[in-house]
Amino acid sequence: MNTTFASTPRGLLVALVTAGVIGGAGAGLVTGHIARAEQGPASATAVAGTATPSNAVPGTSALPSFAQITAQSGPAVVNISVSGTRHANRNASAEDDDDTPAAAQQGIDPNDPFYQFFRQFGMPGPGMQQRGVPRDVPVRGEGSGFIVSPDGIVLTNAHVVKDADTVTVKLTDRREFRAKVLGADAKTDVAVLKIDATNLPTVKIGDTKALSVGDWVLAIGSPFGFENSVTAGVVSAKGRALPDDSSVPFIQTDVAVNPGNSGGPLFNARGEVVGINAQIYSRSGGYQGLSFAIPIEVASHIKDQIIATGKAEHARLGVTVQEVNQTLADSFGLDRPEGALVANVEKGGPADKAGLQSGDVIRSVNGQKIVGSADLPAYVSMAAPGSRLTMEVWRQGKPQELVAALGNASDKGTQVASKDAKVARGKLGVSLRPLQPDERQQIGVDGGLLIESAQGPAAKAGLAAGDVLLSINGTPAKDVEQVRSAIAKAGKSVALLVQRDGSRIFVPVPLG
């Protein structure tokens, strides 16, 4: 179930990075500078204390005691180190797109004192193999995790332990255990580990429903290998969708999270875990004020499945959905831009069997309101395959109820449209012609009109020659006259269902 949105800036796709395994091969080497933080007029101890500031707003409570939370829950937070090998067979160079340094690509141990020397000058070092020769490159990394059961069940991120041959869990009392990966779910980025120990300290599990934007939160982890580091901040947003092919409704915070924090817990002000720190938004690879955590309910749901069956299963609906903006809401007669607009329905899938159609706007599922398109895949992904989904749908200006029996996401997933169109002003400006029988067979459509040229607002909205117009405001585009009639009857905007390169999307076009 993809959650990639066209409305998201393209740069965000590059900037979203996992906050876990430290840099590829031999990332245990820390080469950064430690800057001194000069103490300002206000002492930092005021933040960790429990006293109410003298200038506090009347009626507000004191800041949480981060020191108390750390003392109580810190022992249940663990450091996770992984090691493995990566088979390489290519001509490596210092200018490669791979983040792995050339020295590491050639086989030298990054912990070797001469590693940086050979890396700097691009010279072959002792034990280095010739480029282009098949070899196994050592890969090391570090992450974080937390104990949820006294018998050794540990939660972390799936990407922390991905492709690891050896996983070692280190406690705050310096004991180390070889961990077994019980299971990992790439879709939610949750992994469950087991260590052979008893009477271990555990964290308290909280409830994200009680978490509000602006609440204090605390993270404990091992950024850049600095074990048991504590950082604090506030909740910036909830239910945040990211363009990372995930269906997780992330918790966004401004807590400082860096590589190595991945898999570590996010605590609320009561010392309860409400999330697993997983990703950051960064243009540099380091923290820039935007961190994202997996809600603990999602992680617990995956944990229970993995412990019971060794794997996690997700349901699927079989649709491609996109955001409803104001222009689309006007086109479909909605009172506000909410819901998940169905751009395409998988033939023979659960949605198709339930009678869902392109142009339907899903406004609620099983009584839960769908505000943004990301709400739908997040809900469906957590449902069990085979369960029933009752949908309140907006179709042709009227509400309608449909019921679907959900399928299994291991087959095909619910997708979110990966493209969006820019809004423009003015008249439509498209030249249309009917499709020839061979064109329909080649494109794979039963009807529609070929766009031969697009000008004015249509071109600005993203339409181009070669696109196939399938419908206008949910009404199939059968012929040119029918399109002209639909445009004449439309209000201040129209929603055009267009197919391009096998993908379908609604394009909103305001009319002059």
What is the token pair recorded at 117?
């020397």
3-state DSSP assignment of residue 490: coil
Half-sphere exposure at residue 286, Cβ-oriented, CA atoms within 13 angstroms: 3
Distances, alpha carbon 418 to alpha carbons 14, 212, 346, 415, in Å? 15, 30, 16, 8
* Inter-residue contact 390 to 365 (CB < 8 Å): yes
Helix (H) or strand (E) holding 457: helix 456-460
3-state DSSP assignment of residue 62: coil
Active site residue 314: no
Q: Is 78 left (phi over 0), alpha (psi -120 to 50) or beta?
A: beta
Query: Which of 262, 254, 260, 209 is closest to 232 using CA atoms?
Result: 254
Relative to beta strand 398-405, strand 388-395 is antiparallel
Q: Name the amino acid, one letter, at 316.
A: R
Active site residue 81: no
Active site residue 159: yes
Q: Which of 73, 222, 262, 471 is catalytic?
A: 262
Query: Which of 203, 190, 510 is closest to 382 using CA atoms?
Result: 190
Q: Which of 73, 81, 144, 159 is catalytic?
A: 159
| Torsion over CA: 36, 260, 278, 69 (sign) | negative
Q: How far apart, in whole angstroms, are the C-alpha atoms of residue 280 and residue 159?
A: 14
Q: Which of 73, 81, 144, 189 is catalytic?
A: 189
Residues in the chain: 512
Query: Which of 288, 299, 242 is closest to 265 using CA atoms?
Result: 299
Query: Which of 469, 493, 467, 204 is closest to 358 using CA atoms?
Result: 469
> Any idea which residues carry the catalytic annotation?
159, 189, 262
